[in-house]
Structure 1
Amino acid sequence: MLFSTQGFLLLFLPVVLSLYYLCAPSRPARQWLVITASLVFYGLWDWRFVPFLVGMTVLNWVLACLWGWTRRRAWPIAGIVLNLGVLVFFKDANWIASVLAALRGQMHQPWDIVLPLGLSFFVFQKISYLVDLLRGQAPVYGLVDFLEFVTFFPQLIAGPIVRHNEIVPQFASSPRNDAMWENLSRGAILLLVGLAKKAGLADTLGSMCDPVFALGAQGHLPPTGQAWLAAVAYTLQIYFDFSGYSDMAIGMALMFGLRLPFNFDASYRAVSIRDFWRRWHMTLSRFLRDYIYIPLGGNRCGAARQATNVVATMLLAGAWHGAGWTYLAWGGAHGVALAMAHAWRRRQRAMPALAGWVLTLSFVMLSWVIFRAADMPTAGRMFMALAGLGGHEPVAAGHHGMVLLIAVAVALAGPSSQRAILRDMPPEPWVAAGAGIAFVLLVLLIGGRIPDPFIYFQF
């Protein structure tokens, strides 16, 4: 079940919210309701993985309890190794086997491994918790708290990557408090904004870029104009698709009286690559910083070592996104760019903001081409087309052209939706009236077509 479907918006969410507020005075009742609803939500994708999700969660909790009883570091370390092993098996086993087979001059027959939905996100949550246990920065939670922390359905599939200390303490507070109506209203409007990003912009932008990348994957060189249109469209699509999901997740959580961390902050207005990673998928950026980059030595070492640390961190970020040379190349490119940015900063040279913005956005857009391509040969053909080798044909954006212009304007000039709605939106009746009308129109829009899954569901 997708957030952007009529069944979810008109049935699942209202029913779960109503029951949640009815049993709000009882902490056990509302927690078990959320856990049950989350497992139902996950099971509507594929019931085969519900036992896997529950089993992995309970196993991690047992390992945490064993650490609490014995204080032996072996228990959380075993959990970290287990989680990483599961992640590598499901995401990388076929790719690693194919690479090894190619080195031997053989072909690998892919194994029938189905990736559990949201695996990367809930595995990272467990790893961060176990690492914090080792650092003495986390308590051993009760089973119910831990189950709700991992399975909470708004953020279960694609984040934000929420840390235990950001949400578990909130479980103790009843949502029926003085802030209830404000939480419901601001959360609902942020949910609506995310829905508009997904259904109104991202899905249309995807229909503009998908055929061009498919042409490249089939071995053809796309026309240059179409290649540039596809590069721009995908740059906007992935932003509105993922930030839209984050808006919906954070908004829904607030409707349950729970605050999740911000995940996007007008990313395409960044004036440097470092600034970009402070604004894009912010919860992943801080995970990489706190659990990989800093333990490797961070910037507490010489220039060469720092460059190595940042490149290694971003290579792992690429591998986290998926198995394949394209993801490693994307992560490596960002690692090199960040290392160069650190070197530039050490020289204490200033770059004009406009020049920094143009350079950053250009690099990010070209790196998205690698990220989106089915494989490296496809990426090579797309770059050849972007360089003008694909021939010149008139580009007909058709009725999609207006959507593209709106997307550009919103991405470059619009406010950060999470900050604007949760911090700055005035409590005025006209806001509620406009939101209601927009919701009806969007529900009618999504009712007439098969919704596209969110891009980050595959990770």
Structure 2
Amino acid sequence: MLFNSLQFLLLFLPITCAGFLVCRRFGNIQWVFIWLFICSATFYAAWEPRYLILLFGSIAGNYAAALHIARQKSKLVLGAAIAANLAVLGYFKYTNFILQTLAYLFHIEVPAVAIELPLGISFVSFIQIAFLVDVYRNRTDDLGLPKYALFVSYFPHLIAGPIIHHKEVMSQFTNERLKSISYAEVATGVAYILCGLFKKVIIADTMASYAAPGFRLANQAQPISFFDGWGAALAFTYQIYFDFSGYSDIAIGLSLLFGVRLPVNFDSPYKSASIIDFWRRWHITLSRFLRDYLYIPLGGNRDGWVRRYVNLMIVMLLGGLWHGASWLFVVWGGLHGIYLIINHLFRYLRERFAPTSRIVAGIAALCSLLVFPAVLLSWVFFRSESWMGAKIMLKAMMGGFGILVPEQYQAMLGSFAPSVMRTLHMQTGNLVTFGSETAVLWLVLVTLFVFILPNSQQLLLGTYDDKPGHPVRRGLARALAFRPTPISAIAGAFVGVLVLAIIYLGVPSEFIYFQF
């Protein structure tokens, strides 16, 4: 069941909210735990009912291990429980990857194993591993089973995160909080959901239609032109941005309906001034998990700069592998590891030798312009389905297969068209990506959306100017800020009807992070 399906929006969500209101009105927080757990289990079972046994077994096993660790602080039990979680994750997600790698290395035929990936297994595994470590470190609150079961299975974050911490989220489920949910919060939650659906259904899926032809041809070992290579890569760069941003908005909005604020997981990463900043804005909770439960335990930056960069590369390689069982994901993670090492090294050298140099500051400003192209280049490996596909895409982006220009674009050059075409060795031909004026208009509008407009939390989190710890909104963010008014209700209804109509007329597409 997808968040952008009619089944979820018109059946599951209304029933879940109605039951929640009954529990809130006539029961207490324990009723809410049980009801939301039942709904979350139903949501999980809609994907594959037989894996409910896996979910319940995982919850029971990890909860038992957590109780034992809380009593005795046993490293042996902690290690065994973490190993069990990784073993389950490894079996379902990486069995065929390991078999294919062995087959390639030893030149043998190894048949693939028919394994269907359980819903959200990476997120379920990671949050339970983090919970076990936090129990060992005395960083959790009470360990009631209903509360823990809901923590693991809570459906707003189940598909693609955020990777929540028990204490920061479940501490919000109290009788006092239950009674204090306001209409403004619910309205904000609905606004988040509509914003996320708009990003996914209208923008991300449209960008997918432009990215798919170029990558499909490349994966079929068909040469593509220069503009098609860059167009497909750019379209996917925007597709994954709005796909993941849309999911993150929907998850926050769904949870707000129950009075619980999930951590922000996406914060305009393409506006980043450095790769370090990018990873503080993209999949924020994954970066936090990798830092707290992998990078720091490996030694972090405590043992010198060489060890620091080695640890950083290990973390990014494993982070890439977490995204998918393919060496292409490892390359993607390795590229970001190289980017981060260069970024950290530059900062270190600048702070040590030229902290006040205007020339170095100017170089840093120019380097910030390379962040988006560097991220775009890495997405080629993320999106490609084979080494051949990635190779052809990169060759096309370097002009290795020539440059095709449609006739309508040549007309824009006027009398200079012949000389420009001849000088740059261009040829007349059709593009498979942004070959029409409509497609180019979409590209321009989406680019403005990414780099000019405020992000969702800047628009929807309410007016916090007088509250410590919250950002002060100015300019465009203040002008466009959401307020629950009749006008915003009409605008929301229009977006809702539009999204539902588009979903009804087509087949809902999966979120890119759907089975990570």
TM superposition score normalised by structure 1 = 0.96
Who is 2:315 aligned against? 313
Cα drift, residue 405 of structure 1: 2.3
Kindly report which structure 2 residues correspond to 1:142-181, keeping only aligned pairs within 5 A, or say none. 142-173=144-175, 176-181=178-183
1:361 maps onto 2:363 in alignment: no
Cα drift, residue 356 of structure 1: 3.3
Residues 140/80 of structure 1: CA separation in 2 closer, same or farther (3 Å cut):
farther
Residues 66/208 of structure 1: CA separation in 2 closer, same or farther (3 Å cut):
same
The runs of at least 4 aligned residues of structure 1 exceeding 6 Å deviation read none
Amino acid at match of 1:426: R
Output the aligned Cα RMSD. 1.6
3-state secondary structure, aligned to 1:350: helix
5+ residue gaps, structure 1: none
CA contact (8 A) 2:28 2:175 kept: no
1:282 maps onto 2:284 in alignment: yes
CA contact (8 A) 2:140 2:167 kept: yes
Who is 2:512 aligned against? 455
Cα drift, residue 392 of structure 1: 2.3
CA contact (8 A) 1:306 1:339 kept: no
> 1:412-456, CA deviations, whole angstroms, 9 ceiling, x for partnerless residues?
112121232113433433222211221112111211100110000
3-state secondary structure, aligned to 1:335: helix
Who is 2:40 aligned against? 38
Q: Distance in 1 between matches of 2:230 and 2:361?
A: 30
> 1:207-258, CA deviations, whole angstroms, 9 ceiling, x for partnerless residues?
1111211111111122221111100000000010011001000111011111
CA contact (8 A) 1:267 1:280 kept: yes
> 1:317-340, CA deviations, whole angstroms, 9 ceiling, x for partnerless residues?
001111111011000110111011
Who is 1:439 aligned against? 496
Report how many residues are paired. 459
Who is 1:138 aligned against? 140
Which of the residues 299, 304, 318 maps onto 1:297?
A: 299
Who is 2:339 aligned against? 337
3-state secondary structure, aligned to 2:164: coil
Who is 1:383 aligned against? 394
Who is 1:226 aligned against? 228
Kindly report which structure 2 residues correspond to 1:54-453, keeping only aligned pairs within 5 A, or say none. 54-139=56-141, 141-173=143-175, 176-348=178-350, 349-351=360-362, 355-393=366-404, 394=406, 395=431, 396-397=435-436, 399-424=438-463, 425-453=482-510
Q: Distance in 2 between matches of 1:56 and 1:211?
A: 40
Q: Distance in 1 between matches of 2:69 and 2:94?
A: 30
3-state secondary structure, aligned to 1:306: helix
Residues 131/369 of structure 1: CA separation in 2 closer, same or farther (3 Å cut):
same
Choose 177-186 or 334-343, whichever is displaced more: 177-186
CA contact (8 A) 1:68 1:140 kept: no
CA contact (8 A) 2:267 2:281 kept: yes
Kindly report which structure 2 residues correspond to 1:17-32, keeping only aligned pairs within 5 A, or say none. 17-24=17-24, 25-32=27-34
3-state secondary structure, aligned to 1:137: coil
Q: Distance in 1 between matches of 2:436 and 2:281?
A: 30
CA contact (8 A) 2:162 2:285 kept: yes
Bigger Cα Rg:
2
TM superposition score normalised by structure 2 = 0.86
Amino acid at match of 1:381: I
Residues 398/49 of structure 1: CA separation in 2 closer, same or farther (3 Å cut):
farther
> 1:312-369, CA deviations, whole angstroms, 9 ceiling, x for partnerless residues?
1100100111111101100011011101111000112435675233200000000001
CA contact (8 A) 1:149 1:168 kept: yes
Who is 2:10 aligned against? 10
CA contact (8 A) 1:64 1:140 kept: no
3-state secondary structure, aligned to 1:171: coil
Q: Distance in 2 between matches of 1:278 and 1:352?
A: 22
Cα drift, residue 398 of structure 1: 5.2
Q: Distance in 1 between matches of 2:255 and 2:373?
A: 34
5+ residue gaps, structure 2: 351-359, 407-430, 464-481
CA contact (8 A) 1:223 1:385 kept: yes
Q: Distance in 1 between matches of 2:312 and 2:75?
A: 28
Q: Distance in 2 between matches of 1:436 and 1:373?
A: 38
Residues 420/353 of structure 1: CA separation in 2 closer, same or farther (3 Å cut):
farther
Cα drift, residue 176 of structure 1: 4.6
Q: Distance in 1 between matches of 2:363 and 2:508?
A: 42
Q: Distance in 1 between matches of 2:95 and 2:184?
A: 47
